[in-house]
Structure 1
């Protein structure tokens, strides 16, 4: 059993923008402890562990967060500010690491995307030197979280390019050796000053120890005002456009546009070298692109191949790449099309492995206008469909309007589903495939607006887990999209717009209210007695009467709750092979699906909506 965590006798207040690894280094230096001892005492790792996993950098989970706050006296908000989590809405690689494709419930998933530095960091020597206060003179300034975002190339405060390597050992700063994914380098080393290089080039000599807060600055380290302005906008997820009312989703989409276009620029380099901010920066990018080995975010990846969708090594090369990308994105639409056409005309084949996640990111997360323009040009350049081996996302973002999850019925109305199925060539009518699509779309609508995982969305709607496993993530549509040019994201947006326009009905409350509702036998008897044709009395307890009551009850419950009749309380528990055929036959008669149905079934079929309305009115007045 884990011992209770005790508060440290002394702690530190986090510095603005500081990251978790830098805070641990500063606090360990103040307490004269090795970092590994402090990591164990603060609950960031178990006592038997010898290093902290890099996923602590993404966010602190419940238990680690509670222990860390207890021992350091820090608030949960301040503690999470030391991680990537505050950037989840503004920096797409962080969203990929914490959210993945299943929803918006942040969790460190052990995924390390490109454009995210987890095995080294850039740094500003002036920031590491501190602000001159007594505490920073003793323990140094902050190692900043944003330096780990590979799109950060400059320090706006000190108007300088960030450094990538130690001036003494020549290795990337805070470089993690081998294939591990750790929070910090050499945590067992005696407490060095936090600004000293901890890289080990010779195990017998120990860490490099060079002071990184006194690295020499030259005129070449001074970015232009335009680059500093670009850096400021990138940190606010505004790579192009001037809108000050940009929501977080639009910022996420535009940053994705920037990274997709950067991949196109790298794949066709040096085609756009003339658009670089300066010849020296163009040369820096040229050097980075020609550099052997993968990008920093892929440095220890098993797939150590060239990736056009990844970051580049140096801050100055990064500045050139992103400045070219932002310059193109900021062009007026006619000029943007011309520049995109020029780049796409020179690009390698779409199925080249070096594209990495480029096309998935374009389809899933790019802004609608940019995605439309690029896909149109790709259609002209490559007449055959885009590669279909890229899996469709299990989470489709809502790009404009929203709706309440309570307004989503468990079984989506057929006219709603046809907004997506009709353009994909599905014929009208009922089929197991269309039923599965209607279930799946309902779950995805819940997932998109709440951020739940698909499993949680299915549970919210009351869909049995076995059914969810059968339809998977848009599987019928994914199969239909093979060789099809339909854009599922655009169709899904049309569906969400349609849902937002509907009269609000609280289906969640109805599912709860009528969770155990069944048609009373006395009510069915009155319905039978009111039949205008030849009187038909059903003997109480008769098999025929029971079948009819169950079928009518299931369909009324379906109308009350917006759910499939198969889930009605009268039919539970679900048989292994589904609803018994005898019950299904009655249901089909009551639904009017049998052309030879008897007049009495027509009477019950026509009575269904009125009876459901009567039940609702009676419930509302109770």
Structure 2
């Protein structure tokens, strides 16, 4: 048999890991059994060098699983179970920390608690205070989302009964790891200098406090309520292999983002929290400087504050009117542009990891419906269902009537239909509103895709929440269509299109005669406006954005004259009333539009230009 190097030889004695046990807890139990210090054990197992004196929390991410498993006679699965590795697909902060070059792993605020948390009763074990090494330090206690023990129904504690002053983050897996084989339930913080029985600790190799943590009052001043315990169980369940990893990951990110919202809108969000947690949350927010309106994206140090925030965030996230709640909190706490709210910075940073529901609900709160173009890059809000090509340049009238016409009476229906189409494309394709307008063939430089002054004022006065909710409902209807129309195909087929003179003559020859001496004008100007009318019917757009190839060939003076008559001709074609000539011409143009649609749908788009 090949001989192992000394630091890789299996230990003469080992322990089976306990359910949910952390690497630090396992090292403490095994070191106590072998009567050596934890750092000495780490060197024997090959996970630390001969001169190292500290065990950092990064071992939960970077442990050499194979080497440690061989040294402790564990399987690789048992060894990985002592670390964060099984959760890397479920807890986004772990995945980011594993991919970052920062080996300290401290830049991700939601990766570790500032101070170790623990349940005294779990440390005591089932057969006495760790006398048989059956107490447990759990891996989940390192995560900021763990604030209570669902088994013993108590808040997790941190620190020590001796009252150490904890002013900074403790980055160690085991503090004072070079100290001797203390009991796993003893405090390993540096000994207090005013303790008459213990010499003061000096650096990482000084003497530990040694106070018995498992004898601490497990109840503390407060116990978690029913909703807090349910939230804790739900969060821990997200880490279990029985839940889809993607679902768990997005849920954790959603909760993180909403927790930031609760903090940045404090104290407006105070009423959403359990009264018992409000004081602790207030201290947390003040410590992070909420008065400066900065983005607050750090978890609380205190378990009670964590419980209050995550329980409130979970309830808010499950609300059926999530978009309204987010919009209301943002409006109440911020009087500037929605896209510049402090918590929007947090949302944008984690947007890709959020659930689709969260991205959709946050849209009204993180954007403002502006009249000017923005060219910033956005990812799509919707990744399934309808596609950008299934949206016409002007929202279909029956879509509008079903979803938007029932809002507060608005005299700007066309602006609402136009903006709705742009937003539907933006939700499906990402990018800026100007990008969506370009896709639809709308001129962004003229602001045509945006709101008129009157509609902009109406949106400001009535708020965008109802408008966005109605548009979301419409989007869901579009998702359910099994064979949606490809509107972009029509726009591409009729790019730079117009009725040819021969086609125009063929159409107008079918018009009934008009009695009297005054005959309708059938010149190139009317051919141009008839072309725009047909184009709008085929593409479901607006004549305003139709190609004007006939007009482009005319002198500047004549183009200006045509412009003055444009809207009058469109109006008569759209609503001819008793004008028999326009009634007949409209009918013939609609027939020609149907003819073009059939050609395009049958794949004969290339022949459309030749048929006019």
* TM-score bracket relative to the smaller structure: 0.5 to 0.7
- Which of 148, 162, 165 is the equivalent residue of 2:142? 148
SS at match of 1:204: coil
SS at match of 1:183: strand
Q: Is the 8 A contact 2:359 2:381 kept in 1?
A: no
> So what's the TM-score if we normalise by structure 1?
0.54
User: 1:375-524 to 2 correspondence within 5 Å?
Assistant: 375-380=363-368
Post-superposition CA distance 1:444-473 (Å, at most 9, x none): xxxxxxxxxxxxxxxxxxxxxxxxxxxxxx
Shift of 1:21: 1.1
SS at match of 1:143: coil
Q: C-alpha separation between the residues in 2 aligned to 1:386 and 1:21?
A: 51
Quick check: 1:184 aligned with 2:174? yes
Counterpart in the other structure of 1:317: 305
Q: Is the 8 A contact 1:17 1:82 kept in 2?
A: yes
Q: C-alpha separation between the residues in 2 aligned to 1:193 and 1:149?
A: 24
Q: C-alpha separation between the residues in 2 aligned to 1:308 and 1:40?
A: 40
Counterpart in the other structure of 1:235: 236
Counterpart in the other structure of 1:263: 260
Q: C-alpha separation between the residues in 1 aligned to 2:111 and 2:96?
A: 10
SS at match of 1:8: coil
Q: C-alpha separation between the residues in 1 aligned to 2:255 and 2:375?
A: 22
Change (3 A) 1:245 1:44: closer
Post-superposition CA distance 1:540-599 (Å, at most 9, x none): xxxxxxxxxxxxxxxxxxxxxxxxxxxxxxxxxxxxxxxxxxxxxxxxxxxxxxxxxxxx
User: 1:520-531 to 2 correspondence within 5 Å?
Assistant: none
Q: Is the 8 A contact 1:5 1:42 kept in 2?
A: yes
Quick check: 1:326 aligned with 2:307? no
Q: C-alpha separation between the residues in 2 aligned to 1:484 and 1:165?
A: 54
Shift of 1:341: 1.1
Counterpart in the other structure of 1:359: 348
Q: C-alpha separation between the residues in 2 aligned to 1:182 and 1:155?
A: 22
Q: Is the 8 A contact 2:260 2:343 kept in 1?
A: no
Structure 1: stretches of 5+ with no match in the other structure: 102-106, 295-304, 402-418, 424-479, 487-496, 498-622
Q: C-alpha separation between the residues in 1 aligned to 2:260 and 2:107?
A: 18
Q: C-alpha separation between the residues in 2 aligned to 1:381 and 1:262?
A: 26
Change (3 A) 1:397 1:75: farther
- Which of 191, 200, 207 is the equivalent residue of 1:204? 200
Counterpart in the other structure of 1:470: none
Change (3 A) 1:187 1:354: farther
Shift of 1:285: 1.2
Shift of 1:291: 3.1
Shift of 1:226: 2.0
Q: Is the 8 A contact 2:121 2:218 kept in 1?
A: no
Q: C-alpha separation between the residues in 2 aligned to 1:336 and 1:398?
A: 16
Counterpart in the other structure of 2:80: 80
- Which of 317, 326, 338 is the equivalent residue of 1:340? 326
After the TM superposition, which segments of 4 or more aligned residues of structure 1 sit over 4 Å from their partners?
1-4, 347-357, 381-388, 396-401, 419-423, 480-486
Quick check: 1:20 aligned with 2:23? yes
Change (3 A) 1:351 1:124: same
Post-superposition CA distance 1:354-405 (Å, at most 9, x none): 87654210x21111121122123221388889996xx999xx999779xxxx
Counterpart in the other structure of 2:61: 58
Q: C-alpha separation between the residues in 1 aligned to 2:76 and 2:381?
A: 28
Shift of 1:352: 7.8
> How many residues were matched structurally?
386
Change (3 A) 1:288 1:111: closer
> So what's the TM-score if we normalise by structure 2?
0.55
Q: C-alpha separation between the residues in 2 aligned to 1:131 and 1:484?
A: 65
Change (3 A) 1:227 1:245: same
Q: Is the 8 A contact 1:238 1:254 kept in 2?
A: no
Counterpart in the other structure of 1:129: 124
Shift of 1:3: 4.9
Change (3 A) 1:377 1:70: same
Q: C-alpha separation between the residues in 2 aligned to 1:385 and 1:109?
A: 42
Shift of 1:124: 0.5
Change (3 A) 1:358 1:164: farther
Q: C-alpha separation between the residues in 1 aligned to 2:137 and 2:355?
A: 33
User: 1:286-297 to 2 correspondence within 5 Å?
Assistant: 286-291=282-287
Q: C-alpha separation between the residues in 1 aligned to 2:322 and 2:85?
A: 33
Quick check: 1:215 aligned with 2:216? yes
Quick check: 1:281 aligned with 2:277? yes
Post-superposition CA distance 1:143-185 (Å, at most 9, x none): 1111111011110010111112222124459x865xxx44321
Give 1 or 2 for the bigger CA radius of gyration.
2
Backbone CA RMSD of aligned residues: 4.3
